[in-house]
């Protein structure tokens, strides 16, 4: 069964600094997708970045990048130049692509607090 582990319940970072949010995963499927979502206190779930298991390069989207280490089964999110608006809950999620299942399985999340 697929599983996502986020070991950091909370993280603090100062404005303008970079921060890494950890995510490890477990799957027996060779083809899978990894996702990061941001959930502000208002509740919506905002898609940030996607990494496919066969992608050779790490994904990047603006200030977000994904440090994908396939052998270690980790997919850490790096946020550069943190902003106050980055304060939110961040979820790592995975979808297995060969099983026919469509569900996303989420980790327990990391709450990021950006201080001035």
What's the CA gap between 105 and 20, in Å, rounded?
21
Q: Given the complex with other proteins, which of 14 and 98 has the nearer CB atom?
A: 98
Among 14, 28, 83, 108, contact with other proteins (rule: CB under 8 A): 108
Q: Given the complex with other proteins, which of 30 and 108 has the nearer CB atom?
A: 108
Q: Which two tokens stand for residue 107?
A: 């980790």
Work out whether 85 is an interface residue with other proteins (CB under 8 A).
Answer: no
Work out whether 91 is an interface residue with other proteins (CB under 8 A).
Answer: yes
What's the CA gap between 44 and 8, in Å, rounded?
21
Work out whether 68 is an interface residue with other proteins (CB under 8 A).
Answer: no
Please spell the DSSP secondary structure of 58-115, one letter per residue.
Answer: --EETTEEEEEETTTTEEEEEE-S--GGG-EEEEEEEEESSSS----EE---EEEEEE
Pick out residues in 3-32 that bind other proteins (CB under 8 A).
none
Q: Kindly indicate which of the ranges 21-29, 38-46, 71-79, 80-88 contains the residues binding other proteins, using the contact rule CB under 8 A.
A: 38-46
Work out whether 43 is an interface residue with other proteins (CB under 8 A).
Answer: yes
């Amino acid at each position: 069964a697929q599983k996502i582990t986020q070991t950091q319940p909370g993280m603090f970072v100062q404005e303008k600094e970079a921060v890494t949010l950890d995510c490890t995963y477990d799957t027996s499927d060779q083809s899978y997708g990894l996702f990061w979502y941001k959930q502000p206190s208002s509740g919506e779930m905002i898609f940030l970045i996607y990494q496919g298991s066969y992608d050779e390069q790490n994904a990047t989207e603006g200030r977000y990048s994904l440090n994908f280490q396939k052998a270690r089964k980790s997919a850490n999110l790096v946020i550069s130049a943190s902003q106050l608006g980055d304060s939110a809950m961040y979820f790592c999620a995975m979808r297995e692509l060969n099983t026919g299942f469509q569900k996303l399985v989420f980790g327990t999340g990391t709450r990021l607090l950006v201080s001035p």
